[in-house]
Amino acid sequence: MLLHFMKTEILHVDAQHPQPAAIRRAAEVLRAGGLVAFPTETVYGLGANALDALAVQRIFRAKGRPPENPVIVHVADPALAMSLVTDWPEQASTLVQRFWPGPLTLVLPRASCIPHQVTAGGPTVGIRAPAHPVALALLRAAAVPIAAPSANLANRLSPTRAEHVLAGLAGRIELILDGGPTPGGLESTVLDLTVQPPRILRPGLISPQQLREVLGDVVLAADGVQPPGRPLPSPGRMLRHYSPAVPLMLSDQPVEQALRLSRQGMMVGLVTFGEQPLTPSPILLRVLPLDPRQAAALLYATLFELEQAGVQYIVCAAPPSGEDWLAVRDRLRRASASDQMAE
């Protein structure tokens, strides 16, 4: 696929009080059909005017994203969200009151104003209101809904810092708003409200228990093989996704696996949760907190750091069991999976 490479502009902004001039500049780029990477409370998003089909197509080209993988639409308020769908159930209002702005994406029947490029040709659209001050300021200044998957090359690690964005998309997009590290570290929870009980299509920073407290019963979508070319119901459903550029192995015996690979002459990165095992110096050890939210915030940055350090293989301890760790387990399972697609 041919790409027109350009100079990517970087504007540093205060994460809590973004400078109006930088926000105006980014809004101008979006309204002109350009692409802007910006921080959210989850990861950095790669934004385009969601109502401009050509601009949305540019997201797919820049990322090398499969056309059957839809993108989420970001809005500043529920009123705009309602105008982008044909049905807004009472459950949506209840969830919005509890979780918006925040890391919850609602899947609803799309209105005709949403280009099919956004939904991969499917009948539904995922919508959320981000909680990050930079993202909200940009949405208000642009005065359009913003289609924005994570700002990385397709299937690679989602970026939690501007330098991660630049490493993958430099020369492919017009502008990056650098608001520092994103606090959440993992993508939003995606909840399908077109079925009953509501179905979690992608686990994220809003847990199933939090959703049950509001809705009662919710179910977790099962993975399955997706026929090629058929629209996915949500981002984050590809079996291989969120992966570093080097192989990643999940293991119940991570130290032993890392040692085995190291003895074969490989430079190995080892990731554990809360445990700091004794390992020989050739192995690069990174210890994530034994707290699911803290681990989520650091996961992608840690894998990116090991990737940039030149390791040839990453061995990761299996995350703890329990629903609180569901999103972390999901991301690591997909990062270590074979290259197939899920339902």
Q: For residue range 83-108, what is the model confidence (pLDDT) as tens digits?
A: 999 999 999 999 999 999 999 999 99
pLDDT at residue 278 in the model? 79
Q: Sheet harboring 199-202: ordered strands across?
A: 9-12, 175-178, 36-39, 44-49, 146-147, 73-74, 124-128, 104-109, 189-192, 199-202, 219-220
- 30 pLDDT band (50/70/90 cuts)? very high
**Domain chopping of the chain, boundaries:** 9-220, 248-335
- In the chain, the amino acid numbered 300 is Y
Could you tell me the fold of the domain covering 9-220? DHBP synthase (3.90.870)
Could you tell me the pTM of the whole model?
Answer: 0.93
Give percent of the chain with pLDDT exceeding 70.
94
The CATH number for 248-335, chosen from 3.30.450.40, 3.30.365.10, 3.40.220.10, 3.40.50.11030, is 3.40.50.11030
Give 123-127 contacts, CB < 8 A, sequence gap 24+. 124/192, 124/194, 124/233, 125/70, 125/73, 125/84, 125/85, 126/70, 126/71, 126/72, 126/73, 126/190, 126/234, 126/235, 127/72, 127/73, 127/74, 127/75, 127/81, 127/84, 127/85
Average pLDDT for 97-122? 97
The answer to whether the bond into 101 is cis (omega within 30° of 0) is: yes
285-330 pLDDT, tens digit per residue, is 999 999 999 999 999 999 999 999 999 999 999 999 999 999 999 9
